Each structure stands twice: as C-alpha cells, then as structure tokens.
Structure 1
Amino acid sequence: MEWDDGMAARAKDKNEAGEVEAKVIAAALALAAEGPWGRVTLATIAARAGVALADLYPRLASKGAILDRFARGIDRAVLAGDDPSLAAEPARDRLFDVLMRRFEALAPHRAALRSIAAAERRDPLGLITRIPGFLESMRWMVEAAGLDGTGWRGLLRQRGAAAVFLAVVPTFLEDDSEDLARTMAALDKQIARGDRLMRRLARAG
C-alpha cells in the first residue's frame, strides 16, 4: 500500500509540474506577442502564469529553457501527426510534409516568434546556446521523414533539414495566410535546392 501511495504521489507531482510548465510556456508566448521579448523577465512570466517564481526553478530557470520546452512540445505535435501513407513517397516529399507540419504547429504563435526572433538577432550568445536543442529537433524531423538520422550521413541530413527550415523561417514569419501558401512555396523551393546539392555531392563522391 505504501508503494502504491508513493506511485500515486509521484504521478500527482508530475501532473502538477506539467500543468505549471504549460502555464509558463503559454504566459511566455503571450508576453512575447505583446511586446519585445528582450524586456520579458522570468518574474513577469511567472506573474502572468499565476505561479510562484520558485516554481520555475530548476526546470524552467531561464527564458531559453522555456523556449526549449516549447520546442519539445512542437516536436511531439509533429511526431504525433505522422502519416504512414506517405511511407512510399519520395524522401523529399516526406521531408516536405514533416517540415510543413512543423510550420503549421508553429503558426498560431507567429506574433510571439517574430518578437523572439528579433531579440535573438541581438543576442548571438543566447542563440548559440539553443543550437543543440534545435539540431536535436531536426534529427527527430529527419527520422519522422523516414530517413536515418544517425552516422555521418544522418548528420548531413540533420544539417540539411536545419538549413532548409531556417531559410524558410523569414517567409513563414510574414506569411499571414490561412493556408500558409507562401511558406509552402518557399519550403518546396528550398527542399528542391537541397536535393540538387545532395545529388551533386553524391556524384562527386
């Protein structure tokens, strides 16, 4: 019975931590959408979320950590939308589908992302600290596209997916259409360009 009680208590704590995390992420994005991200502090995020500042420590102890948690949620949303019927499609089509699902998951947060992107352009050191998490997201996107993300070839695929995604971000941030038509066109163009480059490298090798 004591073991069962302990398990129940841990499950309750985990659920409560998840609820706090969701509130904090939502508050951070709301504040970013309302004004410059650079002026947002952990204290203002906690106040907007209705939680104690101590609740952010240690899992969400920086704005970068909050953004990383948000990115992990986007990863899960993309992976949950996996479409097995695409397995027989060419690799570039599968990658297009996965990255487009990522942009669609991010679309409701464009105002916040514009503010965050503007702040990160003025904070290169902060941006650098988030690169490993971004590349980890791209590894999962490559895997979701049915491509091997391991080894040196996998590393090239990860870097290629990252380059494609980042090249499309400026278009996405300004694309307010409901169907993200401009984003889709830009993504298709960048994937085609990357595909041609990989083919040339393969022939050269």
Structure 2
Amino acid sequence: MATAKTRQKILQTFLDLVSVHPYEDVSLTLIAETAKVKLSDMRGAFASKAQLVAAFAEKIDKTVLDGRDDDMGDQPPRDRLFDVLMTRIDALSEHREAVRALHQAARHDPALALEFNRIAARSQKWMLIASGIDVSGVKATVVARALAIAFGRVVGVWLDEEDEGMPRTMARLDKELDRGSDLMKRLNGLEGFARGVRSFLKKAAGGRGRWKDRNRETGPDADLDGEAPAGA
C-alpha cells in the first residue's frame, strides 16, 4: 500500500506533467518514472489516470470545503452556491494549465468526457452540500450531473479569460445558475407530480382492497345481514 506521501508525490507529478503535455500523452509509466517511484507503488496508489483525476477533484473539494464562508449562511441558496463555485475557481487557479489539458482532452474524447463528468458530479454534490442546498436521491444525481456540465462551461470561459477580476467568468456562472434555477423548478414540479401519482395509486389500491372486502361480505353466498344463508 502506497503511503500518503507517495500518493501526494504521484498526484503532483501527474498535474505537473499534464500542465505541459497533452493528457493522452501522459502514461502511468511516465508518471512513475518522473516521480521516481516503482510501478508497484504506482499501482498501489492509482490504478488508472481516471483515479488520478478523481484524486485531483477530491483535493479541490477539500480546499473549497475548508475555505467555506460561514458568513454566507443567511444568503439565498443561489448566492451561496455562486460563492462556493467561485471559491472552486480560485482553488483551480493554481493548476490552471493542468485543468486546461483535462478540459481539452474531454472535448475530444466523448468517453473520457463521460468519465470526467461522473467524477465532477461527485464533487458538485459536495458543492451543493457546502452551499446548504438539500437535495437527495435521484434528484441529487440529476442536479449534480447538470451542475457538473454547467460548471464545465464556466471553466471553459475562465480558461480563456485574462482579466484577474474574472467578469466574463462570473457572468457565465450567473447565466448557468439561472438555467439551474429553471431546472430545479422543473424537478420540483415533477417531484410534486410524482408524489401526487404515488398518493393516487396508494389510495386506489386501498380502495380496491375495500371493494374486495365488501365483495366478500355481500357476494352471492352471503346474506345482507352477514348471517349464513338458509340451509347452511
């Protein structure tokens, strides 16, 4: 089992390499050789580049969660989420070129994009939690995946923005969150509809049960007073 120090060394080497090489050119062998670790240690730490990307996402998650602004607690959920996602952009800034390489790789490889989206969706669930936005079940998965795609668009703008004030990035994030608000409204509407359907089906099932009971009591072999018919 690789130590935490070895894992950190490998992850940093991976980020350094993808900062100057295309993602597809950075092999596990190259990472191990550059980090000066044995392939067995590499295998024990990260069995694939996707695991390295996931570890990078978790590293950013921790930075954002540790830097969460508790003073935003009384702000609307949308404002809290905006603040958390801008904090995530700040955390990514140290690794801008690595992020650029990952972003470009995903754009040219649909399968890789799906893998990255799954990783990003896990992170976005934590961003929602950090924002105090309570979603669960299937709804949480849908929202997190949609937010991962939306944040990817924001990152695309950020990567090409030179202004340190990031006006274009913030404007794009505003736009994406507006879209997200519409999605939440639709999901809430569908959720309400689904609850109504479940309630109707439950009542209908209960009604059928009552009708069955009544049918047993008033069927052709039963007396209206509930007594046994003559001759029984």
Bin of the TM-score, shorter chain as denominator length = 0.7 to 0.9
Specify the code of the residue in structure 1 equivalent to 2:53. L
CA–CA distance in 2 between the matches of 1:40 and 1:23? Answer: 16
CA–CA distance in 2 between the matches of 1:21 and 1:187? Answer: 33
The question of whether the paired residues in 1 share the 8 Å contact of 2:121 and 2:147 is answered with no
Instruction: Show CA shifts across 1:38-93 (max 9, x none).
Output: 11111111122222222111331111111111111111111111111111100100
1:138 aligns with 2:128: no
CA deviation after TM superposition for structure 1 residue 153, in Å: 3.9
Work out the percentage of aligned pairs sharing the same amino acid: 37
Instruction: Show CA shifts across 1:107-128 (max 9, x none).
Output: 1211112122222333322332
Of residues 22, 44, 52 in structure 2, which corresponds to 1:58?
44
Specify the code of the residue in structure 1 equivalent to 2:11. I
CA–CA distance in 2 between the matches of 1:197 and 1:153? Answer: 11
What are the residue-to-residue correspondences of 1:65-80 with 2, within 5 Å?
Answer: 65-80=51-66
Of residues 166, 176, 179 in structure 2, which corresponds to 1:190?
176
The question of whether the paired residues in 2 share the 8 Å contact of 1:33 and 1:111 is answered with yes
Q: 1:87 to 1:53 in 2, by over 3 A?
A: same
TM-score, L = length of structure 2: 0.73
CA deviation after TM superposition for structure 1 residue 138, in Å: 1.0
Q: 1:143 to 1:22 in 2, by over 3 A?
A: same
Residue in 1 aligned with 2:147? 161
Specify the code of the residue in structure 2 equivalent to 1:190. E
Unaligned runs of 5+ in 1: 1-12
Specify the code of the residue in structure 1 equivalent to 2:18. A
How many equivalent pairs are there?
191
The CA RMSD measured in Å over matched residues stands at 2.2
Residue in 2 aligned with 1:30? 16
The question of whether the paired residues in 2 share the 8 Å contact of 1:43 and 1:53 is answered with yes
CA deviation after TM superposition for structure 1 residue 158, in Å: 2.0
Q: 1:52 to 1:133 in 2, by over 3 A?
A: same
Residue in 1 aligned with 2:87? 101
CA–CA distance in 2 between the matches of 1:201 and 1:53? Answer: 47
TM-score, L = length of structure 1: 0.82
CA–CA distance in 2 between the matches of 1:96 and 1:47? Answer: 40
Tell me which stretches of 4 or more aligned residues in structure 1 moved more than 6 Å.
none
The question of whether the paired residues in 1 share the 8 Å contact of 2:18 and 2:97 is answered with yes
Bigger shift: residues 95-104 or 157-166:
157-166
Of residues 14, 18, 32 in structure 2, which corresponds to 1:46?
32
1:128 aligns with 2:109: no
Residue in 2 aligned with 1:7? none
